[in-house]
Structure 1
């Protein structure tokens, strides 16, 4: 069942026109319908699809962002309302997230597309801001907020950042053994890298990454994951080769990239998860 997320800043209420409307949808006809409804209140209108091919324009105080939900990506219908609300709470706290769909629900932040008010923009004035404590109405789809939490928390005892921290610590010790103490690489591998199960840990991380990334294509900060993915795959050859090639240890910048990857994921987790 389809719904829409409508985001706009409360301050536009005191103005006659919003500066622009940004529509994110994979159903052009529905996007056109919303454009017709709100075009009289906007100076411009633009369309985007998910995953975002480029960063959205920075939301101004009187902008509107409409997102079709659930979003159909990678053969899944996804519910992303809560993730977008958390993003707005951090970056645009006075913005409003409004669910608009065909499900039966009553809420100040929900707009029933089957029973549109005569003046839809004016009816939105009673909605709550994204900084307020409330939970968006959902009309179906896989909850991406839960997927995000599960990605970071893991399925066992260790979170993804904890595992990366352990791997980074071992690799730093290995680097010091090779450079400071001039140890033989095969000895370091046999006594440090393999006993700490680095190849196995990497396989688990890689499986987790590949499983969850398709869900995260619906997120406003997916491009952050995409950039971290470049680090992930750049350092992968050393671990997928069973940590057997000393040249790969240095060529992949193993320690440096693991640290960048850990720090980048911690930043996302602390901000949004």
Structure 2
């Protein structure tokens, strides 16, 4: 069983890297859809929920066999790739949003397939998180990420599932601030919410970031000192967003992002975080 579990984790991790790479290519102008799509545009079977609730990072807990095809006889996208789309969440729409465009229907179709296959845990996230023994903020991270994904999906004008409609309307509980959690723990939670740091999204989490930009800057510096470059990239992304919202800069982000690019883990997912932060620093077309 340990060998099987390791194999499944590796398969899912590889899928996340592939999908993040496609989003990154689209962001850089490489062309093609940002997420894997079926040749015939059909949807996979619905209702295949991810057991176990949110993982310790606030992302869906990836279980089950990722090599199971989403639709018999179709080679793509695989179950693992659709799970990867769920993990990336709003970032699937990042290339268009950063170009000043509305969420596109082609990406929305794939996101809808992923949300249909792996429905939002919704209001059950807190119970699932408690059962898993993880911190309560993990449930909030999952709920806010899912809500943002569903809102963008609805905004794209593509057909959505009942699950997506409910998720888009559900308002999760308030995200605690650094005064409640302490700024180190709070900055880690905000890093897990970095996919909300996109143009076209705004709400209580963004207002919390604007009010506590000093804590974000401290978290980014702390992460750099700890060589946790992915967390640093995610917090730099939030600082780029608060800067775009008119908040005076607390940190010179250009050398931070250069250092992350040079010394980071080299993954597509980290490169995507850096690329999004850099695009927001340059400004989004009106």
Does the TM-score normalized on the shorter chain lie above 0.5? no
TM-score norm. by structure 2 comes to 0.30
TM-score norm. by structure 1 comes to 0.31
Going by fraction, where is strand more abundant, 1 or 2?
Answer: 1
Which of structures 1 and 2 has the bigger CA Rg? 1
Going by fraction, where is helix more abundant, 1 or 2?
Answer: 2
